[in-house]
Amino acid sequence: MTTSLETFLLIAPEIALVVAALVVFLAGAFANLQSGWPVAVAGIAIAMFLSGGTPDDGGTVTSGPVSIDGFSLGVRWLVLVLGGILALVQSGDTFRTATSRSGTALRWGTCEEAGTFLLLLAGLSLVGVANDLVLLFAGLELVSIPTYILLALKRIDARGQEASLKYFFLSLVASALFLYALVCLYGIGGSTSLAEISARLRSPDDRLAGMATVLLPVALGMAMSGAAFRLAAVPMHFYAPDVYEGTSPGNAALLSTLPKVAGIVVLLRLLALGTGGAFGMAGAQAAVAGPAATAYMTLFWQLAAILAGLTMTVGNVMALLQTNLRRLLACSSIAHAGYLLVGVATAAAADSALSGRLVPGTDTSWTSGLGGSSATLFYLATYVLATAGVFAALTYLGHRWPEWSATAGSRPPREEISTVDDLNGLSGTNPVAACSIALFLLSLAGIPPLPGFWGKLSLAITALEVDWNSSATWGSRRAAFLALAILLVINAAIAAAYYLRIIAAMYFRSTKRGVQADGGIAAGLAMLICMALLIVVTFQPRGLFAASSRAGRVISAPTGTLVAPQVVSP
């Protein structure tokens, strides 16, 4: 696979992010730049300008290891918009100095933090456009390494360093597992190109069946484990509560959003190996899938469905037991990883059949016919918007008012907002922040007509549509996805309990201390932007549905259905 000037032109937005990162690093080191976040926001804006729209023919443009299609463009825009919001949150995050008794907000290190954050965004965007195993892994590492660097830079106390080390060591394990999975895929396809691996996997050659029997379970198992770490999904979820509690709200916002985007993008790209939809296969080529692809897709949906059921249940049950606010939101993040995996499992089981019913340009209903990939992307967008908004609000609120008197001596150290009780009576002291947090939490809970409701509804509908028109018995995957949809609804009801507990604290309890709202204007602006976007999607969800549908159809097989759809798991 060769690269050319066209390859670099296709990744111009990612190059702009890297250049902006270098400018921030150099300006901080040699020009005494005090804060690199304005430069970071400018770099993200330039990357947006260079991103452009869809390919001219609405199809795929491939050059070297880079592939630009509806899916990669959708991921790129999601990363850049979310990155802009998180940059505002991070620029107002001074929690690393909360242990200082002087009350002074020390702002050193912001250039290093801003530059590292830009590299993280560039890596995540590269994951979305990767058409090669090498670039895919390099992009993931460009997400992981800056993440634990940011965790170490933001906090200098013992708990912050502990959180950084926990994430660092587990990230190494997850990266190793994922690398071994890529080695197995290389052994199956004989190439690092995703398109060539997909063509080999979908080949009707029976000789591949023996190789697939041995390598596919190993490859998918390790790939799922690597993605589960980034999603904070079972069994790689246990680090999340400790790391979220030990780090700052700005870093918690980053951990709960950007790695999840990376995990979902990787899973959908690997899913496309079986459908062939993302690699321009059409006609007879798209209508043929040999035994290896059939086994691959079957194992894919089985693993994803099991992880989805376990993850959403474990996350919600853990959240019910939490009183620390960031630990509660960490458990909530685990549960939402389970919801996202419901869409991935549905995509693996039936996305090709669903996409065959959805004709481009047809005025379909907003949720029916979306397909698992599209429903996953829609829910991902609604989730990251509400989650970034919650942490933006917490960053803006800052610290509690200290309890002290003039006769008590020196002013005590500032105390972070750490428990649910710290938000007691917030509606009376800061009604805008209270309203914003309430809207974000209600969306995460799936309360209509907020975007989270449409997201959960689309996931449930796509799960129920698996084999809905077939004569499959109830011992088949139809029953499995019916159970998964019911489990999703039950878990959504469980989640409402702890979300409403936070809202009740803000609106129905009195406060003794209140909050300082010292997180800065930038964090407050990020909160208001997220609230505005949430309201827009609430009243006009169709635009986001259409964008998610365009991106999701790329992952699905473009025409026809997977060969031998009657072959279902026992």
SS3 string, 487-526, reads: HHHHHHHHHHHHHHHHHHHHHHCCCCCCECCCCCHHHHHH
Going by pLDDT thresholds of 50, 70 and 90, the confidence category of residue 23 is: very high
DSSP 432-451: HHHHHHHHHHHHHHT-TTSH
Higher pLDDT, 95 or 230: 230
Q: Report whether pLDDT(412) > 70.
A: no
Query: Which tokens belong to 343?
Result: 């869409």
At 204, give phi and psi (nearest 5°).
-75, 5
Higher pLDDT, 402 or 440: 440
Mean pLDDT of all residues in 173-201: 90
Q: Report whether pLDDT(365) > 80.
A: no
Mean pLDDT of all residues in 274-296: 64
Q: What is the CB neighbour count within 10 angstroms for residue 42?
A: 14
pLDDT value, residue 363: 32
pLDDT value, residue 559: 33
pTM confidence score: 0.89
Q: What is the pLDDT of residues 301-354, one digit of tens each?
A: 999 999 999 999 999 999 999 999 999 999 999 999 999 999 999 998 864 343
Antiparallel, parallel or unpaired: β 66-68 and 61-63: antiparallel
pLDDT value, residue 367: 46
pLDDT value, residue 360: 34
Q: Report whether pLDDT(282) > 80.
A: no
Mean pLDDT of all residues in 509-519: 79
Query: Which tokens belong to 295?
Result: 């086994």
Q: Report whether pLDDT(153) > 50.
A: yes
pLDDT value, residue 93: 59
Mean pLDDT of all residues in 439-458: 94
- Average pLDDT along the chain: 83
pLDDT value, residue 6: 86
Q: Report whether pLDDT(440) > 80.
A: yes
The rounded percent of the chain whose pLDDT value lies above 90 is: 48
Whether a cis peptide bond, with omega within 30° of 0, leads into 13 is: no
Picking from 95-109, 181-195, 333-347, 474-488, which range would have the lowest pLDDT averaged per residue?
95-109
Count of all residues that appear for the chain in the document: 570
Higher pLDDT, 433 or 274: 433
Picking from 73-77, 176-180, 204-208, which range would have the lowest pLDDT averaged per residue?
204-208
pLDDT value, residue 471: 53
pLDDT value, residue 57: 44
For residues 407, 408, 410 and 416, what is the CA-based torsion angle, rounded to 10 degrees? Answer: -130
Distance from C-alpha of 447 to C-alpha of 441, rounded to nearest angstrom = 9
Q: Report whether pLDDT(197) > 50.
A: yes
Picking from 174-178, 472-476, 506-510, which range would have the lowest pLDDT averaged per residue?
472-476
Q: Report whether pLDDT(359) > 80.
A: no
Picking from 114-123, 200-209, 479-488, which range would have the lowest pLDDT averaged per residue?
200-209
Q: What is the pLDDT of residues 549-564, one digit of tens each?
A: 888 888 875 433 333 3
Distance from C-alpha of 366 to C-alpha of 432, rounded to nearest angstrom = 31
Distances (CA, A) of 207 to 187, 192, 290, 443: 14, 20, 10, 49
Picking from 240-249, 283-292, 316-325, 389-398, which range would have the lowest pLDDT averaged per residue?
283-292
The rounded percent of the chain whose pLDDT value lies above 70 is: 82
Q: Report whether pLDDT(83) > 90.
A: yes
Q: What is the pLDDT of residues 116-143, one digit of tens each?
A: 999 999 999 999 999 999 999 999 999 9
* CB-based burial label for 310 (10 Å; 0-12, 13-18, 19+): middle
Picking from 35-39, 381-385, 423-427, 449-453, which range would have the lowest pLDDT averaged per residue?
35-39
Most confident of 210-214, 461-465, 558-562: 461-465
Residue 554, H or E segment = helix 542-555
User: Which amino acid would we find at residue 344?
Assistant: V
Q: Report whether pLDDT(175) > 90.
A: yes
Mean pLDDT of all residues in 352-369: 38
Going by pLDDT thresholds of 50, 70 and 90, the confidence category of residue 95 is: very low
Higher pLDDT, 433 or 291: 433
Higher pLDDT, 449 or 161: 449
pLDDT value, residue 516: 79
Going by pLDDT thresholds of 50, 70 and 90, the confidence category of residue 406 is: low
